[in-house]
Amino acid sequence: MEHRILFGSYPIPRFGGIASHNFVVWTDEAGRPLFEINGGAANPDGSFNYCAIGGALTAVVTDYAKRDLVYFPEFYVRPTSRTTMILEGSYATIAARWRAAIDVAERIRQSDLRYSFLIQNSNSVATAIAKGMGLNPPRKAVGRVRAPGSHRQLLLDAA
């Protein structure tokens, strides 16, 4: 198996598992997560707001070698998370696409966009990250009920 970029969905228990939190993850050839990108709201101190109803929209890049759940969330490792492979390739191929994802995440952090549960949220961030890598999120992971905000096009200034 080669390195992979996966598009993940975590069914949110508070919403009966109907609505999901989408994210993107890079795994090595053994399927171990190396990096993950999550969107959501930031707390005033910059930590990730797991229970957001407002705040600044952010994109957080988690390095699995440097775990810190307050600032860098991990959803790939949760037992109820589901993933779909959107790209498989060599380390160099995946690293090049991931660099593009990091650039989009930085543009989201610098955008001054506000988090909104139904409009601009983790799902719109995950979609923007995938599209920024030249990839499409899987159809089964997007939708207005399943993943509110997943169809939202984030308006990002070019960096």
- Return the top range by mean pLDDT from 5-19, 110-124, 125-139: 125-139
**pLDDT of amino acid 130:** 95
Whole-model pTM? 0.91
Dihedral of CA atoms 46, 78, 103, 64 in degrees, nearest 10, equals 80
Residue 158 has pLDDT above 70, yes or no: no
The whole-angstrom distance between residue 17's C-alpha and the CA centroid of its chain comes to: 18
Nearest to 119 by CA among 42, 46, 41, 67: 41
Q: For residues 23 and 122, what is the distance between their CA atoms, to the nearest angstrom? A: 7
**pLDDT of amino acid 143:** 72
Percent residues over pLDDT 90 in the chain: 62
Task: Name the DSSP class of 25.
Answer: E
Nearest to 146 by CA among 15, 5, 6, 18: 18
DSSP state letters, 48-108: EETT-SSSEEEEEEEETTS--TTTS---TTSTT-EEEEEEEE-HHHHHHHHHHHHHHHHHH
Over residues 46-58, the mean pLDDT reads 86
Question: 119 pLDDT band (50/70/90 cuts)?
Answer: confident
Over residues 95-117, the mean pLDDT reads 94
Assigned token pair, 116: 């909104």
Backbone φ and ψ for 91, nearest 5 degrees, come out as -55, -45
Maximum Cα–Cα distance across the chain: 41
**pLDDT of amino acid 157:** 59
**pLDDT of amino acid 159:** 47
Over residues 23-28, the mean pLDDT reads 98
Residue 99 has pLDDT above 50, yes or no: yes
Assigned token pair, 50: 């797991």
Helix (H, G, I), strand (E, B) or coil at 151: coil
Nearest to 11 by CA among 158, 100, 135, 140: 140
